[in-house]
Amino acid sequence: MTFRLRSGKKGLELRLHDLEATIMDVVWGKQLSSFAVGDVLAILEKQRDIAYTTVMTTVTRLYEKGILERERDGKRYLYSPKLSREEFLQSTAREVLDEAVGGHQAMAMLAEKVSEASAGELDDLEALIQKRREELDA
């Protein structure tokens, strides 16, 4: 499962890049309640060529986004997921939905002065759809 969600301004940062999503898949899939960078690396190395520093950087980023928490264990950190997969999906789905259709911002959009979309604006929208299609295909 790949998480490619829209970024939010508050709460969880919702966009998980591919490697972040892969690592969280490993953490949740293997039910790693407490793990070091090396533990994830050992699993990922079986699937692909990957450097320790890449995994460490990504795990740190997940910690900074609030998806993982950590505690010091000697010279290393032990990480654990803050949320279960279901809790994460629920919160992200909610925030994606809020971002897409809810809240004051969306209502403010509808309150804008009515103006018929120009050909250029429609082109931009089509380009946006095409871009998302390519992202999903990739």
Partner 1 sequence: MIEATFPLLGTAFVVLIVLPAFALLAKAGLVTLERDEAGGPLHGLNLRYVLLTGSSALPIAWLLSAGLHQAETGKSALACLFDHDTAELCFEPGFFALVLAAAIFASSIGVVRKHRGARASSTDAARTLVRRVARIIASDPALAGLHDRVVATDDVGFALGTHGLLKPRVFIGTDFAARLSDEMLASALGHEAEHLRALDPLRYLILQLALAVNPFGRFLLEPHAARWRAAREAHCDREAVIHGAAPLPLADAIVRAARPGAREAVALGARDTAVLRLRIGMLLAFSERTPARCCHQGPSAFPVAFVLLLIALLLPHQTGTAALDVLHTGAEHALTYFWR
For partner 1 (CB under 8 A), the number of binding residues is: 37
* Residue 51 vs 117, nearer CB to partner 1: 117
Among 9, 74, 109, 138, binds partner 1 (CB under 8 A): 109
Least separation, in Å, of the C-beta of 89 and partner 1? 8
Token pair listed for 31: 């039910």
- The rounded distance, in Å, linking the Cα atoms of 27 and 78 is 12
Token pair listed for 80: 């654990």
Contact 98, 82 (CB under 8 A): no
Least separation, in Å, of the C-beta of 83 and partner 1? 16
Least separation, in Å, of the C-beta of 66 and partner 1? 19
46-65 positions binding partner 1, by CB under 8 A: none
Q: How many CB atoms lie within 10 A of CB 48?
A: 8
* Residue 47 vs 115, nearer CB to partner 1: 115
Question: Can residue 132 be called a binding residue for partner 1 (CB under 8 A)?
Answer: yes
DSSP string covering 37-85? HHHHHHHHTTTS---HHHHHHHHHHHHHTTSEEEEEETTEEEEEESS-H
Stretch near partner 1 under the rule CB under 8 A, chosen from 17-25, 50-58, 76-84, 114-122: 114-122
